Amino acid sequence: MTTKSAAAATLATAYGYPRQGRGRELKKAIEGYWKGAVSAEALLATAADLRRENWAQLAGAGVQEVPTGDFSYYDHVLDTSVAVGAIPARHRAAVEVDALDGYFAMARGTQDVAPLEMTKWFDTNYHYLVPELGPDTVFAANPAKAVGELREALLLGHAARPVLVGPVTYLLLAKPAPGVAEDFQPITLLDRLLPVYARLLAELRAAGAEWVQLDEPALVQDRTPAELNAAARAYRELGALTERPKLLVASYFDRLGDALPVLAKAPVEGLALDFTGPAAANLDDLAAVGGLPGKRLVAGVIDGRNIWINDLGASLATLATLLGLADRVDVAPSCSLLHVPLDAAAERDVDPQILRWLAFAKQKAREAALLARGLREGTGAITAELAANRADLASRANSPITRDPAVRARAAAVTPDDTRRAQPYPVRAEAQRARLGLPLLPTTTIGSFPQTTELRLARADLSAGRIDAAAYRERMEAEVREVIGYQEKAGLDVLVHGEPERNDMVQYFAEQLTGYLATRHGWVQSYGTRYVRPPVLAGDISRPHPMTVDWFRYAQGLTGRPVKGMLTGPVTMLAWSFVRDDQPLAETARQVALALREEVTDLEAAGAAVVQVDEPALRETLPLRAADRPAYLDWATQAFRLATSGVRADTQIHTHMCYAEFGAIMTAIDELDADVISLEATRSHMEVAGELAGAGYPREVGPGVWDIHSPRVPSTEEAVELLRAGLAAIPAERLWVNPDCGLKTRGWTETRASLDSLVAAARRLRAELAG
């Protein structure tokens, strides 16, 4: 039942904000620190400036309660590990000597110490550092960061709410530490962890926190009764504390399902729920459990993961219903705004009409404030804004940019035969071996080679008009010659051209396909200091001209060894873009797949014996709920096969995946019907090889033996050890040797040394197998 007092209490808030700054100042400061060019003091000062600017932007947009603690130098899950004292034994000495350097050692590793494993944050393209826990783990509260950032915000005059990863999610995201039994369940450490959270909460309260947000997104996944009981126990115990602030338990990315009544009954003062996309079901579920009488509800009615403007009228209708289900309803984006760029107003090159369809973090904060105002003061107070929003929504829906009849007719004409190779794998494998003539344990790389400062400067010079296309092409060809020559000298068997001309594995193709829109400043954090600019998928997709064929021809003309054609797959083209939300993803994927199919067949016609179509996002995009997965995997694997099934038997199709938990998609990996798959395996100690063998995977596999997200150079002995583990699961006739991922972010010195180790390891094992 709507009450005036409930509406009057409504305010706008947010769960988190982009960390990098307008000009990616954080990235530059951290990388400068790693190189010794920026002092620790200067890095800390830059971070403080960015936090201050973020809070000022949120407050300026009308957000009345800002988050603290969401800022991170690398990753917020790693920050949680530090806050609870879960430091792996191999990193403790480094942390004790210097906390900042020890922190980065956990994230990146050193030459002597391996980093924490990295994987995807639920179904996003953000990567987190996986906590390593075991029966002997001893937790200890370290509230310095959380308390320090809260005090900063309070001193600046902001109403602030600290944000922490909740204890249940933290444990569910963790894995057994090295040497711990694989069946160890970190959630069994809950009783040991809760007193540490109690201490953190007490310290935050003492520092002035009225509310603390505990993020529990793991509870939107399918959870066992035991895990739900653990959540109930956790919040029963935390809720019973006397020295604590008010608790807001937050979930996002999907509906809470069975966890909703657990949290609704918990003795906490508020819940934050997602009401966008599949999580819109939270509205009916909340009504079914009787709402949240006596509690605060933070309603995530603005999509925090995509960049389209909000339908303000629809959101107001949802909020009006929610006013009858809680004592207080506040308005927020559905999740942290970490997943979207900072400010759409910076995009000076975007058509002004299209720009009105876009909302980045700053605009989403304003939308939240506008909706909160509409609830507090009535819709009459925002009449003009609602009218403008309706006009912008209609403009997008009716724009010829969004619909191409020819593309839609072609997609509708696809038949099942278009999504199947003409010959079964055994026939293809024999033909490919005869054509390629590769040795046992063939060596290759994933695609990209180091993107040097010189390459980036050449790209910037082209963009600024300081050089013309011919000069740029000449510079890129020189780089391709160097990369091909190096690979031949190093002894690699299947080569790549190195991709010097590519700014990003998705953006490069998006800029050549109709229906896509590129941004200049739309940076989003992928991991650590790695930022990407996801293109905007605004309309129907087609390929006006070949995209990579000329580069392949040039590279292949420099060598007698096979050079891979390199493409990004349809699912990844969607997952790493801001995808349109006005039609089913399956339809968009089919359009992209048809464009890629043209490119694959053109590469084959140009002489490519090997074409790699990367799908690192296949696992990432897997729905969080098991019931939603079969439909997704059906259209996702069909899209890949549609892109790759138009080639001859002797043309070898590769794909690549990285930094994800693959166990849940083993059947789908088989359904891709790729001839060779390469996967990340180093940080996970070759686990994926055993998983593939256990699933009966029948084709060729390249589990990585060099972790390219760490500056460590692996020794030949390390690579040999990993390959032996791979050979224990996969026959030598089907095992490839390669890095975990592309080499774009690495330097040439470490690249040469690491690939020397990789090739030497392959040669040593070939000799052993031959002897």
Residues belonging to the active site:
709
Alpha helix (H) residue ranges in 156-293: 167-173, 190-206, 225-239, 259-265, 282-288
**Dihedrals φ, ψ of 477, to 5°?**
-65, -35
**d(C-alpha 217, C-alpha 249), whole Å:** 10
**d(C-alpha 670, C-alpha 661), whole Å:** 15
Instruction: Classify the phi-psi angles of 559: left when phi > 0, otherwise alpha if psi is within -120 to 50, otherwise beta.
Output: beta
Residue with tokens 């470490």: 750
**d(C-alpha 37, C-alpha 14), whole Å:** 34
**Taking the CB of residue 320, how many other CB atoms lie within 10 A of it?**
15
**d(C-alpha 274, C-alpha 281), whole Å:** 9
Burial degree of 132 (CB within 10 A; 0-12, 13-18, 19+): buried
The full DSSP string for 658-724 is: -SS--GGGHHHHHHH--SEEEE--TTTTTHHHHHHHHTT--SEEEE-SS-TTSS----HHHHHHHHH
Query: Do the Cβ atoms of 596 and 637 come closer than 8 Å?
Result: no
**d(C-alpha 220, C-alpha 249), whole Å:** 12
**d(C-alpha 99, C-alpha 493), whole Å:** 43
**d(C-alpha 26, C-alpha 43), whole Å:** 8
Query: Do the Cβ atoms of 593 and 645 come closer than 8 Å?
Result: no
**d(C-alpha 589, C-alpha 572), whole Å:** 9
Beta-bridge mates of residue 163: 213
Which tokens sit at 550? 């000329």
**d(C-alpha 160, C-alpha 157), whole Å:** 9
**d(C-alpha 228, C-alpha 706), whole Å:** 38
Which tokens sit at 444? 């290759």
CA 254 to chain centre: 16
**Taking the CB of residue 434, how many other CB atoms lie within 10 A of it?**
9
**Taking the CB of residue 582, how many other CB atoms lie within 10 A of it?**
14
Residues sharing a CB contact under 8 Å with residue 674, sequence separation 6 or more, in sequence order:
613, 640, 644, 653, 654, 655, 699
Of 590, 548, 555, nearest in space to 571 by CA: 590
Residue with tokens 């980045």: 360
Query: Do the Cβ atoms of 375 and 10 come closer than 8 Å?
Result: yes
Q: What helix, strand, coil percent values describe the chain, rounded to 5? A: 50, 15, 40
Of 555, 425, 552, 583, nearest in space to 487 by CA: 555
**d(C-alpha 266, C-alpha 261), whole Å:** 9
